[in-house]
Chain A
Amino acid sequence: MKVMISIAAGLGLASAAYAAQKLGEYQPERPPEVTYAKVCGYCHGKNVGPIILGRKLDTDMIKAVTRHGRNGMPAFRPTEVTNAELDALAVWISKSPARTEEHGK
């Protein structure tokens, strides 16, 4: 649970309702902050993709770009980020404040 706790701490969340994956079980649905940390956040805010937090981006736009990719960004299929995860993620990205530790031109 180390990883989850550090994510929760990083976001100042009291708790993240996320069960880690167990042996022999499928990956559970990930809350948006986990999806962001484990997928999006490796590029966005790390000098690879544009900063997307704190910009009040349109949720439909976020979903469309996720599914189709754009220029250098690969497309993410519903098998990778489920529709339910993406719905929550788009809202979360749209509402999240900017993070000072993120950078990108």
Chain B
Amino acid sequence: MSEFELNRRGLIGASVLGAAMVGLASCDNKGTLAPGVSKADFAGAIKAMRSVVGDEWVFGDPEAVMPWGKVYVPDPNGRHVPLGAVCPRTVEEVQEIVRIANKYKQPIWPISTGKNMGYGMAAPATPGQIVLDLKRMNRILEVDADLGTCLIEPGVTYQQLKDYLDDNNIPLWIDVPTVGPIASPVGNTLDRGVGYTPYGEHFTFQCGMEVVLPNAEILRTGMGSIEGSTAWQAFKWGYGPYVDGLFTQSNFGIVTKMGMWLMPRPPVYKPFMIRHDNMADVPKIIEAMRPLRVSSLVANCNLMMSASYQLAMFKRRNEIVPDGQPLDDASVKKAAKANGLGMWNTYFALYGTEQTVAAIEPIIRAQLTASGGEVLTAAEMGDNPWFHHHATLMEGGLNLDEIGLLRWRGAGGGLAWFAPVAAAKGAEAEGQTKLAREILDKHGFDYTAAYAIGWRDLHHIIALLYDKSDPEQEKKADACYQDLVTTFGKKGWASYRTGVNSMELVAQQYGQTNRDFNKLLKNAIDPNGVIAPGKSGIA
């Protein structure tokens, strides 16, 4: 019985050891070495790394490396398979590993918690790299309850940080991306990820870094370079050129400590959901939200969720339309309605005191009602699972509900985020939604998308969901992704961040001058090119 049920869920197969073998085969580690690295170099690097972190924490054969190789993104040619993994515990070990990498010209791909799901997980952009897995460096070094700051190592998950604050009754919030429990503030911030409290633009709330440079020296940014300074986590800019941004979405160094600001828990937190009934309501919603966001009357990053994205979290596609049929608006609308959802569902919250929230709420209600939306709160939505999910996120709470997206289609397991930026204008969003739907339709995929409404920008978050157990569908998803990037690019819409499957492609869109400048920096900072070649298209 249990075997049957597990199979039916499509998540665990009948024979799991068999399943693991299938995984092995699909991982397809052809053992491609990095350009210019010989077998002997690789072996030499692995041996030397073992002497630094111990045998137990170096992984050099294809089977042992598999846990670092599982990705959701399409990878029909097996380019994103790491060759090894090394897992240091201390910054001194990181320095030693960097020296070894330089000696053998062996590239290393740093990750913090390696849960870059839908962007390549822990896997590198190009073949032949050893993953530098910093998850074991997981100390919370400082929390200042008065300033609302902390200093942490890369392997600290959002869960660890939240537990620490809760255990010690420190009234500070964290701000999570949707997948908080297993991801990290450092990894997320370095990829310039987002969350949903007023501190949701993570890089904005980062303050001070410690970086192991490619020459193994240690750089502390901002006030961190001043002996005895107490302001490392309080003042972002330091003196002279501001360099922290150089270490985000890049390969110029390995971040071993990061400071960030934590929001004081507000006395009142009130989540809202605005329900709009038609796909065509996109521009109305954006136009209504923008002034609220620009003025900060609404202070958090809003999620404007399409019904199909919401349904994909907790339902399977064939519960909405039969397999093989397109996902039509009428079927989606029917399912959405049955679950208390509109075609667009926009979530935001008010944070403050009784008085401030009471003063702002009527202004917001008037504005959003005029846009044709229904303004809903916990009073109306009760324990609706979607409302509950977003209400949790907007107070920095933890869940993994959205992993449900990964089983939308067939056996699932396939996801690539396409996340083009636009200015927060209704016409821009209308154009993007139209174009995305055309391209996805053409390739036989669904428009499961959301807009993250930032201060003045939109991140259009499109989940390209496919069945990764079907090699044909994986190829199609790959082609569709390239089409999305390229066609959007022609209209001046490019990604805010991208997966290992498309870093080169997106880098091309940002133009030759930009590329040349990055290359100039790369050559100067990392002449042997050992840190994460291919990250953001910088080799």
Interface residues of A (CB under 8 A from B): 1-4, 20-21, 23-27, 38-39, 42-43, 46-50, 52, 55-58, 60-62, 64-65, 67-80, 104-105
Which residue from chain A places its CB closest to the CB of B408 in the assembled complex? A72
Q: How far, in whole Å, are A54 and B138 apart by their CA atoms in the complex?
A: 32
Q: From A44, which residue of chain B is reached at the shortest CB distance? A: B11
User: Within the complex, what minimum Cβ distance (angstroms) separates A38 from chain B?
Assistant: 5
Nearest chain-B residue to A57 (Cβ)? B2
Beyond A2-B167, A3-B166, A70-B23, whether A24 also contacts B139 by CB under 8 A is yes
* A65 adjacent to B20 (CB under 8 Å): yes
23 A-B pairs within 8 Å (CB atoms) are namely: A20-B163, A20-B164, A21-B163, A21-B164, A23-B141, A38-B181, A39-B181, A43-B404, A47-B314, A48-B400, A48-B401, A48-B404, A65-B20, A68-B20, A68-B23, A68-B66, A69-B413, A70-B12, A74-B117, A74-B182, A75-B121, A77-B114, A80-B135
- Taking CB atoms, residues of chain B closer than 8 Å to A70 are 11-13, 16, 19, 23, 413
- A43 CA to B19 CA, complexed, in Å: 20
Q: What residues on A are CB-neighbors of B404 within 8 Å?
A: 43, 47-48, 72
Please tell me which one of the listed residues A24, A46, A47, A77 contacts residue B135 in the complex, with CB atoms under 8 A apart. Answer: A77
User: Would you call B87 an interface residue if the criterion is a C-beta within 8 Å of the partner chain's C-beta atoms?
Assistant: yes
Q: B181 near A42 (CB under 8 angstroms)?
A: yes
Q: Chain B residues near A67 (CB, 8 Å)?
A: 20, 66-67
On whether the beta carbons of A76 and B469 are closer than 8 Å, the reply is no
Question: B residues within 8 Å of A by Cβ?
Answer: 2, 5-6, 8-13, 16-17, 19-20, 23-24, 66-70, 72, 85, 87, 89, 113-115, 117, 121-122, 133, 135-136, 138-143, 155, 159-160, 163-164, 166-167, 181-182, 314, 385, 398-401, 403-407, 411-413, 468-469
B71 to chain A, nearest CB (A): 9
Would A27 and B160 count as touching, CB distance under 8 A? yes
The answer on a CB contact under 8 Å between B9 and A50 is yes
Given known A-B contacts A49-B11, A61-B16, A104-B9, A69 and B70 have beta carbons under 8 A apart: yes
CA A25 to CA B156, docked complex, whole Å: 11
CA distance A55 to B120 in the complex (A): 32
Interfacial chain B residues near A78, Cβ < 8 Å? 67, 87
Contact A74 B141 (CB under 8 A): no
Contact B67 A42 (CB under 8 A): no
Which residues in B have their C-beta under 8 angstroms from that of A42?
181, 398-400, 403
Shortest C-beta distance, A73 to chain B (Å), equals 6
Nearest chain-B residue to A62 (Cβ)?
Answer: B16
How far apart sit A50 and B181, CA to CA, in the bound complex (Å)?
18
Could you tell me if A80 and B182 are in contact, using CB atoms closer than 8 angstroms?
A: yes
- In the complex, how many angstroms separate the beta carbon of B152 from the nearest chain A beta carbon? 10
Question: B159: which A residues are within 8 A, CB to CB?
Answer: 38
Closest to B89 in A: A26
When the two chains form the complex, which single residue of A39, A58, A60, A68 contacts B182, counting CB atoms closer than 8 Å? A39
Cβ contacts under 8 Å, A1 to chain B: 167
Contact of A46 with B67 in the complex, beta carbons under 8 Å? no
Task: Tell me the bound Cα distance from A16 to B469 in angstroms.
Answer: 40
Write the nearest CB–CB distance from A97 to chain B, whole angstroms. 14
By beta carbon, the residue of chain B nearest A20 is B167
Complexed CA–CA distance, A20 and B165 (Å): 11
A77 / chain B contacts, CB cutoff of 8 Å: 67-68, 85, 114, 122, 133, 135
Chain A residue with Cβ nearest B180: A42
- Contacting pair A21 B16 (CB below 8 A): no
Nearest CB in chain A: distance from B504 CB, A: 25
> From residue B120, how far is it (CB to closest CB) to chain A in Å?
12
* 20 extra interface residue pairs, beta carbon distance < 8 Å, beyond A23-B140, A50-B12, A67-B20: A20-B164, A23-B142, A26-B136, A42-B399, A48-B314, A49-B403, A57-B2, A61-B17, A69-B23, A69-B70, A70-B23, A72-B405, A74-B121, A74-B182, A75-B70, A77-B133, A78-B87, A79-B135, A79-B155, A80-B182
Which residues of B are found within 8 Å of A24, using beta-carbon distances? 139-141
Say whether, besides A70-B23, A77-B68, A50 and B11 are in contact (CB < 8 Å): yes
Chain B nearest Cβ from A65, distance in angstroms: 5
Beyond A65-B12, A71-B10, A76-B67, whether A21 also contacts B160 by CB under 8 A is yes
* Closest A residue by C-beta to B155: A79
The smallest beta-carbon distance between B59 and chain A, in angstroms, is 8
The CA of A91 and the CA of B314, in the complex, are separated in Å by 29
Q: Is the CB of A105 within 8 A of B9?
A: yes
Which 4 A-B pairs give the minimum distances between C-beta atoms?
A72-B406, A61-B16, A79-B135, A42-B400
A50-B67 contact in complex given A68-B23, A72-B406, C-beta closer than 8 Å: no
Instruction: Take A47-B314, A65-B12 as given contacts and tell me if A71 and B412 are in contact as well, using a CB distance cutoff of 8 Å.
Output: yes
- Which B residues are CB-close (under 8 A) to A48? 314, 400-401, 403-404
Task: Name the one of B6, B70, B138, B143 contacting A74, with C-beta atoms under 8 angstroms.
Answer: B70
Q: Is B16 a contact partner of A50 (Cβ separation < 8 A)? A: no
Chain B positions within 8 Å of A52 at CB level: 12
A32 to B9, CA, bound (A): 24
For residue A54, give the distance in angstroms from its CB to the closest CB of chain B.
9
Q: Which residues from chain B contact A58 at a C-beta distance below 8 Å?
A: 16
A54 to B164, CA, bound (A): 31
| B143:A23 contact, CB within 8 angstroms | yes
Contact among A2, A60, A71, A80 with B16 in the assembled complex (CB-CB below 8 Å) = A60
* A-chain residues with CB within 8 Å of residue B143 when the two chains form the complex: 23
